[in-house]
Amino acid sequence: MAVSWLHNWLDTLMQFMEQGGHILWWLAAVVIVCWLFVGERVIYLFFYFPKRRQLWISQWHQREEHDSWHAHAIRDSWLNQAHIELNQHLNFIKWLVSICPMLGLLGTVTGMISVFDVMATLGSSQPKLMASGISLATLPTMAGMVAALAGLFVHARLSKTCRLRELKLEKSLRSPK
The pLDDT tens digits of the residues spanning 33-63 come to 999 999 999 999 999 999 999 999 999 999 8
Domain presence at residue 163: yes
Domain presence at residue 8: no
Question: What is the model's pTM?
Answer: 0.83
Domain presence at residue 22: no
Domain presence at residue 177: no
Q: What DSSP state is assigned to residue 121?
A: H
Instruction: Give DSSP secondary structure letters for 133-168.
Output: HHHHHHHHHHHHHHHHHHHHHHHHHHHHHHHHHHHH
Domain presence at residue 76: yes
Domain presence at residue 151: yes
State how many domains the chain has: 1
Residues counted in the chain: 177
Domain presence at residue 154: yes
Mean pLDDT by 10 residues, the chain (177 residues): 79 80 90 97 96 94 89 94 96 96 90 78 69 77 94 97 96 77
Give CA–CA dist 136/154, Å, rounded: 28
Give CA–CA dist 31/171, Å, rounded: 36
Domain presence at residue 33: yes
Supply the range of the domain harboring residue 50.
Answer: 27-172
